[in-house]
Structure 1
Amino acid sequence: MRKLLSSAALATVAASLLVAQPARAAVGVTDDPILYWTQLMYGSVGGNPPVQARTAAMVEIAMHDAVSAALAHPDTSYLQGVSASGGDVRAAAAQAAHDVLVALNPTKTADYDAALASSLALVSDPVARAAGQTTGSAYAAAIITTRTGDGSATAGSTPYTPGTNPGEWQPTSPGVTAALPGWGDVTPFQLTSGDQFRAPPPPSLTSAEYAAAYAEVAAIGSAGSMTRTADQSAAAQFWAGAGGTSWLSIAVGLAADEGMSTLEYSRMFATLGTSLADAFIAGFDTKYAYSFWRPVTAIHGGDLDGNPDTAVDAGWTSYITAPSHPSYLSTHSIADATAATVLLAYIDDEAFCATFAGLSRCFDGIQDASLDGAYSRVWGGIHFSFDSEAGLAAGTQLAQYELGVGTFRAVPEPSTWAMLLLGFAAVGLSLRRRKTEFPQLV
């Protein structure tokens, strides 16, 4: 069962993430460089979740390709045309992550420089260290060049006018403007386009489905709800502080005891990073395709939607504050499902606890945490249940697609190529761990 940790238990938490029992210390510089730099990145990069996810994807791509190049290219490369190779794996990963982070988050340069120095100090061979740095720098420069002009720089200034009709998104508080209306047009990392997994339209305002979801969020999501349980309130607060990109940190804790090689870690985190970045692109595409109103706006205008089963409440407020973008679909939910689907393709499900923004919460496993995150948006009063359901469905489909593409994978042996040419592609694919399907909200 999920539960909040007691004050006494919280005092024993030494890291931002605990995985099952026993509690483990935070990942440090002497641990695997993929885990170390991913955790460092999560803790240092600010901004909204889509921007954080883009940064993470770039860092993870650079580390994966640099590690593979240092090992003489056992994996396919995301970045083409980079000639640098060889050197120490730790040095290559550290330099790649450092250079991308400095380019995208220059205010933290001193911190990244210190982390790089600590990482490189662990490499005793000066020749291998220098070669690894050269390799890492080359792949960092390549991903920065590749993503320049991807639309992210102008996504916040894309022209957008909020609606005024029932069902259309409107600012939920004075002075608020729509956030990142152009993010759905940002060039994806692995998807063919931002609308590849666009969700179907939300239910009609006059439908019974809409009326049921309206009544649900009005009751359980209000600031003074009498039906929301203490645990549901805790979930709403926890995930509001964690955010969709918190799955990167969760993944570090879950993967730390898997005993993977640096190359294996880099595959998993490159897949996770690019999938999450694409999930936010896909989510914002759906958001601004439909521009559906938030519950707070809907409940204040319950007498305007043409549905006799929606009761207006002009004084209604949500338990947590609604973000400044349309309600449908929930990008938190699409991130939850995407992360769960990717992680369960690489690691076994297990119980774990996490701490973000001073709040801790325990889960029965990865799927449990993902559903908790998706439901929390309804319990917090900022999403309808169909927002979360659509996010979970889209995230599952998106992650399964990206896992199927297999961008970050081992280069097949010559014998495998022969089988592929003969039409036995399924033989090679069956050697990989099966993907776990993510359960939908019901």
Structure 2
Amino acid sequence: MKNYLKRAAMCFALILLVVSCAEEDVLVNNEALNTSNLAKKIKTPGFADNNMVLYWNEKTELVLSAPGPQPSRARFFAIIQIAVHDALNNIKPKYQRYALLNERRKFADPDAAVASAAYWAIKGLNRQGAFAANLETWYIQSLATIPDGESKELGKTLGKNAADAIIAKRANDGLLQVIFFTDLLPNGVNPGEYRSTLTALNWIPQTTLASTRNVSNWGTVMQPYVIESNYQFRPTGPYPVTSNEYTTDFNEVKTKGARVGGIRSADEEKKGKFWSENRPSIIWNHIVRQAIENKKLDAWKTARLFALMHVSMAESINSALNGSYHYYSWRPETAIRLADNDGNDNTQGNPDWLPVLSETPTSVSPPVPGYPSGFAAYGGTTAEILRLFFETDKTSIAITTTSTHPAVPVDPAQKPSFQYSSFSQAARDNSLSLIYNGWDFRKSALDGEEMGRQIANYVFNHHFRENDE
């Protein structure tokens, strides 16, 4: 009798265990939205290599390579890379999400989510332009590499939701209040105050190409992504025109950056031309891609790095423009032409002086006030993100120009390139190229670079951080 009762109790316990497991399966299936067999289909949920992330980053770069205002390009790049980051981290929340916060699809296919996020973000921002047909082909080809089924469909839906979420979050970020125009900015009156650089030589008006458009209120109306305000990291300002430090910077750029009679080393000449020919968002995206090579990063880490980098770049150009119009400081070409009346006895004017890159009467310095340098901020912020992410400044990268300028050789083997052993070295060359081109004073370049570094530190330590779960 005792043995019978013992066996009965064991059977009853076994029945309870089976019922409990069945109930748990129902809960799991409900949570996964009827994805009953997905756990079997995906051997390692929450893992994927980074090939699809890199593929769509490359396509995003291609789409955004068309001429246009640098701040706009930085904004678009940031939004697209956030969409990819959020899509992956709603499959497995390894890192903090930004816009799509409460949509878990743990059995969604990561590659489908990445492709869908990038595709719908590009379309949602209306950035496809001349690549409209290509974009459809890229998306179809990407999805063709993924087995059909519930996992793939979940990934496609998740990616679109991630794109929709970040676009909605940035819908009222200030873009609609930005003033795009090609007219001349108001000229300052006192020494050191900005004078428009949209004219040169015989004062022929600058062309109306989109890349030259002025965005005078961008740094005021554009909402930050992570930092508290666009003036949070505003640098201290340019040197007083009558100071010894200003005189030193003045003479340096007057000598090295002159189109006629300039004194530059062959290395300085090459670096000035190299960095100026490349759009900052594009060339630094290339540098990040190179840094990723041989690091064996998974999709999540790669997407996080791109999000960190492009958000930091967007914050940096917003902040640089905020500072530029706050200080309203003149460019070297104006300073040198008007030096005889600047109140500094140690500066000598040259009314015919032009910067190196004034190849024609309508190719002049960037048409924005000269301090701090947004161009240098791009390099400073990206180099610092890379240093923080990889926990070292050391690297080994060969940077080849991405320029499509007619003077640049088509043959990849003949394109200009530079080898760098540290991220900070690349950032510093990026900054100093502005002096070699006659566009910026040293203080503007180095303060812009430092501002970019400070922004990178803030972004890295305040968002897209690793989750505990």
**Cα distance in 2, alignment partners of residues 393 and 410 from structure 1:** 26
Pick one of 345, 351, 364 that aligns with 2:420. 364
Identity within the alignment, %: 27
- From the CA coordinates, give the structure whose radius of gyration is larger: 2
Pick one of 380, 394, 398 that aligns with 1:337. 380
Matches within 5 A, 1:76-115: 76-83=96-103, 85-86=105-106, 87-104=108-125, 105-107=127-129, 108-115=131-138
Residue 341 of structure 2: SS of its match in structure 1? coil
Matching residue's letter, 1:75: Y
Matching residue's letter, 1:385: R
**How much has 1:226 moved relative to structure 2?**
4.2
Q: Give CA-to-partner distance per residue, 1:396-420, whole Å, 9 cap, x none.
A: 1111111111x1122214xxxxxxx
Matches within 5 A, 1:220-239: 220-239=256-275
**How much has 1:381 moved relative to structure 2?**
0.4
Partner of 1:144: 167
Aligned length: 382
Q: Give CA-to-partner distance per residue, 1:137-156, whole Å, 9 cap, x none.
A: 00100111111121123323
Matches within 5 A, 1:248-287: 248-287=285-324
Partner of 1:311: 348
Matching residue's letter, 2:399: A
Q: Give CA-to-partner distance per residue, 1:324-354, whole Å, 9 cap, x none.
A: 1111111111111100000112235222222
Partner of 1:290: 327
Partner of 1:68: 89
Aligned: 1:180 with 2:215:
yes
Pick one of 173, 178, 191 that aligns with 1:155. 178
Matching residue's letter, 2:458: Y
8 Å contact from structure 1 (residues 62, 143) kept in 2 = yes
8 Å contact from structure 2 (residues 117, 159) kept in 1 = yes
**Cα distance in 2, alignment partners of residues 395 and 376 from structure 1:** 16
**Cα distance in 2, alignment partners of residues 400 and 74 from structure 1:** 20
Matching residue's letter, 1:340: A
**How much has 1:178 moved relative to structure 2?**
6.9
Q: Give CA-to-partner distance per residue, 1:156-188, whole Å, 9 cap, x none.
A: 349963423321212211434871111112111
**How much has 1:82 moved relative to structure 2?**
4.8
Partner of 1:26: none
- Could you tell me which runs of 5 or more consecutive residues in structure 1 were left unpaired when the two chains were aligned: 1-29, 414-442
Query: Structure 1 residues 188 and 295, CA, compared in 2 at 3 Å: closer, same or farther?
Result: same
Residue 350 of structure 1: SS of its match in structure 2? strand
Matching residue's letter, 1:227: I
**Cα distance in 1, alignment partners of residues 52 and 61 from structure 2:** 14
Q: TM-score, normalised by structure 1?
A: 0.82
**Cα distance in 1, alignment partners of residues 62 and 272 from structure 2:** 21
**Cα distance in 2, alignment partners of residues 218 and 74 from structure 1:** 51
Aligned: 1:128 with 2:136:
no
Matches within 5 A, 1:19-38: 32-38=51-57
- Could you tell me which runs of 5 or more consecutive residues in structure 2 were left unpaired when the two chains were aligned: 1-48, 207-211, 358-363, 409-414
Pick one of 425, 437, 442 that aligns with 1:380. 437
**Cα distance in 2, alignment partners of residues 82 and 122 from structure 1:** 28
Matching residue's letter, 2:273: Q
